[in-house]
Copies of this chain bind each other. A is one copy, B any other.
Amino acid sequence: MAWNTNLRWRLPVTCLLLQVALVVLFGVFVRYDADADAHWIDDRLSQNMSSDMDNEFYYRYPSFQDVHVMIFVGFGFLMTFLQRYGFSAVGFNFLLAAFGIQWALLMQGWFHHYDQGYIFIGVENLINADFCVGSVCVAFGAVLGKVSPIQLLIMTLFQVTLFSVNEFILLSLLEVKDAGGSMTIHTFGAYFGLTVTWILYRPNLHQSKERQSSVYHSDLFAMIGTLFLWMYWPSFNSAVSNHGDAQHRAAINTYCSLAACVLTSVALSSALHKKGKLDMVHIQNATLAGGVAVGTAAEMMLMPYGSLIVGFICGIISTLGFVYLTPFLESRLRIQDTCGIHNLHGIPGIIGGIVGAVTAACANSAVYGKEGLVHAFGFKGSWTSSTQGKFQAAGIFISLAMALVGGSIVGMILKLPFWGQPSDENCFEDAVYWEVPEDQKNTASRPEDPTLNPLEP
């Protein structure tokens, strides 16, 4: 189990090779789309657009920036809760996301925006690339503390690829609606990550157990992540919806669902503690489950009370999951899920898929208006609400299947012994991969050192 964790040549070579490949592929394939190209002024004049405001940029850019914050600060800081893994949480998330968005622009571009040998990108592609990387950030939560940055880059490479295939099957072939990604991002990302961590099972992880907990200030840093995710989730679920009422509605539904989720998470957190005390883990995570679970249906006519009900249920289930399911998965199924992504993204993702399927199946012109129904779902020919509902449901299973199969293969690759992974007694420790300032140094693999605790705030 004594792997070499000196990444001096392996990490630089991996990064540089990947980045050189990206430069070449971008050079061959990627161009600006019509709204971002200098020729746009011709389009504008010829199409008689009344205003520069009709550029797609103004519909999507504010939402894009919010999503961008969620991926980099939201996910990054959410994972800083461990006492000595803050550099890696934020830093590795930064690295994998920066690589992932570039690779996603290509993969998603080939599937969705490929025309005459070129991929044409605009602000919507940037959002979708961030979304795709979101699923990698989810999976990162399961393996947090137990993998090297090289393993993360490899995982990102494969996961982005599989995400794009799955997304293509769902959105293009099955014409499933999944604007907030309950299925494509959360369900896929969570079960992919869980499968990977299951394959990478470490029987002696207890040797790092004393670092697999938080300290006072690390929990506050994690709350920065939680709150930015929570606050900007309405932008996440509405970012790529149709212009106008669909974006508007998606934001309202997500706002409602998340608010309800906070109250039930707090309720359960207190009820499940013998002295009625709240647990930061639940406040940091379960409060977000409501956002995951309205991902698919947010842009539909779910109604504000429908959103509240979804949030209500998910806050309860997610908190229960942290208390009962995560320990069970670890002890019985050998799934070591560092951040409990099964409770925050796995189950709520599936719930979100189901809610979406039911809401779509119930869509009718009384609720949407005749024009509105066509506009919202793009129904044409014999395609009806009930067909849509069935295909939505199929999307859940396909996402799960892709995640399990893909995760198994990728897990196997990551199990190879030369990726610089930490030994079981050095998990959850920044000093393995980072130059750590004095007050923290010299602590890796000396967990028993009794002088250490007083240094930790």
A275 at the interface (CB under 8 A from B): yes
Contact residues in B for A36 (Cβ distance below 8 Å): 245, 248-249, 252
Q: Which of A276-321 contact B (CB under 8 A)?
A: 276-280, 283, 287, 301, 303-305, 308-309, 312
A416 at the interface (CB under 8 A from B): no
A116 at the interface (CB under 8 A from B): no
* Docked-complex contact B227 and A260, CB < 8 angstroms: no
Q: Which of A91-108 contact B (CB under 8 A)?
A: 91, 94-95, 98-99, 101-102, 105
A417 at the interface (CB under 8 A from B): no
A268 to B19 alpha-carbon distance, docked (Å):
13
A455 to B454 alpha-carbon distance, docked (Å):
6
A41 at the interface (CB under 8 A from B): yes
A255 to B57 alpha-carbon distance, docked (Å):
14
* Docked-complex contact B65 and A231, CB < 8 angstroms: yes
Q: Could you say which of A42-50, A186-194, A329-337, A392-400 contacts chain B?
A: A42-50
Q: Which of A41-69 contact B (CB under 8 A)?
A: 41-42, 44-45, 50-59, 61-62, 64-66, 68-69
Q: Could you say which of A171-179, A208-216, A346-354 contacts chain B?
A: A208-216
* Docked-complex contact A439 and B216, CB < 8 angstroms: yes
Distance in Å: Cβ of A291 to nearest Cβ of chain B: 12
Q: Which of B18, B27, B213 contacts A305 (CB 8 A)?
A: B27
A98-B258, A305-B23 in contact; A65/B12 too (CB < 8 A)? Answer: no
Distance in Å: Cβ of A205 to nearest Cβ of chain B: 19
* Docked-complex contact A276 and B91, CB < 8 angstroms: no
What 0/1 readout, one digit per residue, does chain A (78-94) give for beta carbons within 8 Å of chain B? 00100110110011001
Contact residues in B for A275 (Cβ distance below 8 Å): 6, 8
* Docked-complex contact A223 and B283, CB < 8 angstroms: no
How many copies of this chain? 3
A358 at the interface (CB under 8 A from B): no
* Docked-complex contact A227 and B273, CB < 8 angstroms: no
* Docked-complex contact B44 and A244, CB < 8 angstroms: yes
A399 to B440 alpha-carbon distance, docked (Å):
43
* Docked-complex contact B22 and A278, CB < 8 angstroms: no
A72 at the interface (CB under 8 A from B): yes
Q: Which of A432-457 contact B (CB under 8 A)?
A: 433-440, 453-457
What 0/1 readout, one digit per residue, does chain A (222-236) give for beta carbons within 8 Å of chain B? 011001101110110
Contact residues in B for A65 (Cβ distance below 8 Å): 62, 66, 231-232, 234-235
Q: Which of B76, B260, B283, B435 contacts A91 (CB 8 A)?
A: B283
A38 to B362 alpha-carbon distance, docked (Å):
14
* Docked-complex contact A102 and B45, CB < 8 angstroms: no
A30-B304, A73-B231 in contact; A273/B22 too (CB < 8 A)? Answer: no
A9 at the interface (CB under 8 A from B): yes
Contact residues in B for A15 (Cβ distance below 8 Å): 263-264, 266-267, 270
* Docked-complex contact A59 and B52, CB < 8 angstroms: yes
A375 to B247 alpha-carbon distance, docked (Å):
29
Q: Could you say which of A120-128, A380-388, A402-410, A421-429 contacts chain B?
A: A120-128
Q: Which A residues fall within an 8 A CB radius of B?
A: 6-16, 18-20, 22-23, 26-27, 30-32, 35-42, 44-45, 50-59, 61-62, 64-66, 68-69, 72-73, 76-77, 80, 83-84, 86-87, 90-91, 94-95, 98-99, 101-102, 105, 121-123, 126, 149, 213-221, 223-224, 227-228, 230-232, 234-235, 243-249, 251-252, 255-256, 258-264, 266-268, 270-271, 273-280, 283, 287, 301, 303-305, 308-309, 312, 367-369, 371-373, 375-376, 433-440, 453-457
14 residue pairs A–B, Cβ–Cβ below 8 Å = A8-B273, A13-B267, A22-B308, A27-B305, A38-B246, A38-B373, A42-B369, A51-B54, A62-B65, A149-B266, A215-B438, A279-B434, A455-B457, A457-B457
Q: What 15 new A-B contacts, CB under 8 Å, besides A14-B267, A277-B434?
A: A12-B266, A16-B263, A37-B301, A39-B368, A41-B375, A42-B372, A51-B51, A52-B59, A55-B248, A57-B244, A69-B231, A76-B223, A86-B217, A149-B266, A278-B434
